[in-house]
Amino acid sequence: MCASVKYGSRGPALIPRMKTKHRIYYITLFSVVLLGLIATGMFQFWPHSIESSAEWSLDRRSVHDAPLVRIPMSSPIPERGDLSCRMHTCFDVYRCGYNPKNKIKVFIYPLQRFVDEVGVPISSTGLSREYNDLLSAISDSDFYTDDVTRACLFIPSIDVLNQNSLRIRETAQALAMLPRWDKGMNHLLFNMLPGGPPDYNTALDVPRDRALLAGGGFSTWTYRQGYDVSIPVYSPLSAEVDLPERQPGPRRYFILSSQTAIHREYRVELERLKEENGEALLLLDKCSNLSQDLASVRKRCYKGQVYDYPQILQESSFCVVLRGARLGQATLSDVLQAGCVPVIMADSYILPFSEVLDWKRASVVIPEEKLPEMYTILKSIPHRQVEEMQRQARWFWEAYFSSMKAIGMTTLQIINDRIYPYAARTYEEWNNPSVVKWSSVNSPLFLPLIPPRSPGFTAVVLTYDRIESLFRVITEISKVPSLAKLLVVWNNQNKSPPEESLWPKVTVPLKVVRTKENKLSNRFFPFDEIETEAVLAIDDDIIMLTSDELQFGYEYFNYLYTYKMPGDIKNWVDAHMNCEDIAMNFLVANITGKAPIKVTPRKKFKCPECTAIDGLSLDQTHMVERSECINKFASVFGTMPLKVVEHRADPVLYKDDFPEKLKSFPNIGSL
């Protein structure tokens, strides 16, 4: 049986013909889809401009979709900028309020296109890729809020990174039109290239009322200490060129200069230094024999020889960073990325993030007038210190310079620390790498540290044969409330300890451990008798300390000293009978990254029983060896972990005129 087939004038009707209205609908739908695919393809393969990729807000709007705002010619202009502004005078900290996370909330204004009355934009470049990246990073961070009522800080979506692209008057008027402007109170502007020819002011020329300025070229004349934030000039090469980290150490060149637009007087002086020091100094300039295209930016030349930039920076120990028309130079970022120690010669320049970063650890700052002496100055720096500075320079770049995100987050953290100082980052957190990379030192994270089996602390007293002094020390220590046990390390193999009946009567367990060899390192041995986490290591001649003073800080590092001390330091201490205290300080400072805490006033050393015969410290060579051991230990550690500290911790009220019974530590400071 065959099914009948209808024929029409156009052949067999195998598919029922659509109704006209349905056909129009599907044709329209197909056309929309096709146009969408074509547009997507063109977007993917058409060359992008900085403006066309400007999407940062949470709704991911393009700058082309932003509403147009016309600025009336009569719109008010903000004041130039108050140089007297400080956080307590021009910033409303009460707007930030209290929150459990101690973190400010930042609101970013919606994207708008500002034009004057005739339709000319206030900026010749629109939203730059750099500012787009910055706003995107902030909007993705914990600082961001889309609730304007919760905001503590306001950031305009008006790009003022590069003053060269701005119309100064119209940009200022646009800022004043922002709904929460309020004379710039609690507003933050980012600018990296301030000023313009011929004078090149060191701060943004746009009138900005009381707004905070994160600026890339501040001088001591324009920087408002504790209010503005000095930021680096971002180098685009950071994202375009991958420079793998290089191990610190000697390089092919001692000094390298790579800047191409420096003042002629500086160039002449550098050429003179080159003549005097030969191959130790490499003086580069732009390549005149290459076409001046984008690729030539990554090239430097010397007498016709072409070098890749910034790769060549990794071949030098020191890299010169001179002031140009502006104080802030992107070269500084390139130099840090290369792990080259920057030699900064820019008088009155406020270094990036200098409020929190210790630039002495990563750079050498030389007055411009000392340029002729640069080589001599740099030669006086010890090799070990140069290596540490190379390491620190690279870390500074990774943590604070490597991206617009890093720059933005660092800026907000600095402001956050001002507003919540009790929760601020410490010096160590800002300046010490989070991961110790020195191969000679093991990380303490995997060591068998166990919870304490007993509260309080154990006093370990190292002694030889000063019986009277030893007993006085034991008597004083036994008065300390937190003392859990006394352990006397008897280091004399030729003489027995006193009989039990002769020892002072104390209320805590007292045990004498006889050693097999007379070694200073025995004081740091992790004896089984030590059942507390805290240990006080003390000599038998330290009789000037009071029980109150002994109640202050101590830490448990005996295991590390005995089994994890790098190199041959412990053997050196035992062989020379010296510097065990310095070795312990090296170890603790290297692990914690912290300086020691001074807890009592300076006191004169008193030891009635000490004579020139039995006193180690009275030997003429003793102090000479202590200087030698510092150099020795620093060489083994591969760095100088000891920290300079001017802080002293004292108990509250210990010197005040209060009744003694009201003081927790009344007997501190007396001799």
Question: What does the pLDDT look like over 394-440, one tens digit per residue?
Answer: 999 999 999 999 999 999 999 999 999 888 998 989 999 874 444 34
Distances from the Cα of 578 to the Cα of 503, 605, 627, 643, angstroms: 28, 17, 11, 21
**Residue the block writes with tokens 């160039």:** 267
Contact 167, 441 (CB under 8 A): no
Q: Which amino acid is at 283?
A: L
Going across the sheet that includes 341-345, the strands are 281-283, 253-257, 316-322, 341-345, 364-365
Query: Is pLDDT above 70 for 303?
Result: yes
Question: What does the pLDDT look like over 149-190, one tens digit per residue?
Answer: 999 999 999 999 999 999 999 999 999 999 999 999 999 999
Cβ of 136: how many Cβ atoms within 10 Å?
Answer: 19
Task: Name residues whose C-beta falls within 8 Å of residue 111's C-beta, 6 or more positions apart in sequence.
Answer: 54, 56, 57, 61, 63, 66, 127, 157
pLDDT number for residue 613: 47
Q: Which amino acid is at 10?
A: R
Q: Coil, strand or helix: which one is 649? A: coil
pLDDT number for residue 65: 82
Q: How confident is the model at residue 481 (pLDDT cuts 50, 70, 90)?
A: confident
Instruction: Give the β-pairing of 188-191 and 212-215.
Output: parallel
pLDDT number for residue 664: 58
Query: Is pLDDT above 90 for 257?
Result: yes
Between 549 and 215, the higher pLDDT residue? 215
Cβ of 129: how many Cβ atoms within 10 Å?
Answer: 17
Q: How confident is the model at residue 288 (pLDDT cuts 50, 70, 90)?
A: confident
Q: How confident is the model at residue 484 (pLDDT cuts 50, 70, 90)?
A: confident
Question: What does the pLDDT look like over 81-128, one tens digit per residue?
Answer: 888 999 989 999 989 987 778 899 999 999 999 999 999 999 998 899
Q: For 17-22, what is the mean pLDDT?
A: 48
Rounded distance between C-alpha atoms, residue 227 and residue 405, angstroms: 21
Out of 3-7, 342-346, 433-437, give the one with best mean pLDDT: 342-346
Query: Is pLDDT above 70 for 195?
Result: yes
pLDDT number for residue 5: 35
pLDDT number for residue 48: 33
Cβ of 464: how many Cβ atoms within 10 Å?
Answer: 18
Rounded distance between C-alpha atoms, residue 29 and residue 360, angstroms: 66
Contact 555, 519 (CB under 8 A): no
Contact 643, 426 (CB under 8 A): no
**Per DSSP, what are the bridge partners of residue 166?**
123
Query: Is pLDDT above 50 for 52?
Result: no
pLDDT number for residue 391: 95
Q: What pTM was computed for the model?
A: 0.61
Query: Is pLDDT above 60 for 462?
Result: yes
For residue 201, the Cα-to-chain-centroid distance in whole angstroms is: 28
Distances from the Cα of 671 to the Cα of 8, 480, 523, angstroms: 121, 17, 26
Question: What does the mean pLDDT of the chain come to?
Answer: 81
CATH class for the domain made up of 457-553: alpha beta
Per CATH, the number for 236-288+297-402+420-431 is: 3.40.50.2000
Q: For 447-451, what is the mean pLDDT?
A: 39
pLDDT number for residue 636: 86
In a 13 Å sphere around the CA of 217, the CA atoms on its Cβ side amount to 26
Between 206 and 98, the higher pLDDT residue? 206
Q: How confident is the model at residue 192 (pLDDT cuts 50, 70, 90)?
A: very high
Query: Which of 569, 584, 580 is CA-nearest to residue 520?
Result: 580
Phi, psi of 107 (to 5 degrees): -110, 135
pLDDT number for residue 99: 77
pLDDT number for residue 36: 54
pLDDT number for residue 32: 54
Q: Coil, strand or helix: which one is 450? A: coil
Cβ of 607: how many Cβ atoms within 10 Å?
Answer: 17
Range name among 180-184, 251-255, 381-385, 635-639 with the lowest pLDDT average: 635-639
Rounded distance between C-alpha atoms, residue 458 and residue 468, angstroms: 21
Query: Which of 310, 315, 309, 402 is CA-nearest to residue 352?
Result: 402
Q: For 50-78, what is the mean pLDDT?
A: 68
Q: How confident is the model at residue 297 (pLDDT cuts 50, 70, 90)?
A: confident
Range name among 119-128, 244-253, 641-650 with the lowest pLDDT average: 641-650
Query: Is pLDDT above 90 for 230?
Result: yes
Residue positions counted in the chain: 671
Contact 134, 177 (CB under 8 A): no
> Which letter, b or e, does each residue of 286-296 get, where b requires 16 or more Cβ atoms within 10 Å of its Cβ?
bbeeeeeeeeb
Domain boundaries defined on the chain? 63-230, 236-288+297-402+420-431, 457-553, 565-600+616-663
Query: Is pLDDT above 90 for 284?
Result: yes
Q: Coil, strand or helix: which one is 415? A: helix
Instruction: Give the β-pairing of 316-322 and 341-345.
Output: parallel
Check the CA dihedral 205-210-211-212 and report its sign. Answer: positive
Range name among 196-200, 214-218, 226-230 with the lowest pLDDT average: 196-200
pLDDT number for residue 507: 85
Query: Which of 141, 228, 225 is CA-nearest to residue 191?
Result: 228
Percent of the chain residues past pLDDT 70, beyond the cut: 75
Query: Is pLDDT above 80 for 304?
Result: yes
Contact 639, 589 (CB under 8 A): no
Out of 458-467, 579-588, 650-659, give the one with best mean pLDDT: 458-467
Structure-token pair, residue 179: 């709904």
Q: For 67-87, what is the mean pLDDT?
A: 92
Contact 504, 478 (CB under 8 A): yes
Query: Is pLDDT above 50 for 3?
Result: no
Percent of the chain residues past pLDDT 90, beyond the cut: 48
Q: Which H helix or E strand runs over 36? A: helix 20-45
Q: How confident is the model at residue 292 (pLDDT cuts 50, 70, 90)?
A: low
Contact 405, 133 (CB under 8 A): yes
Angle between helices 404-419 and 129-139 (to 10 degrees): 50
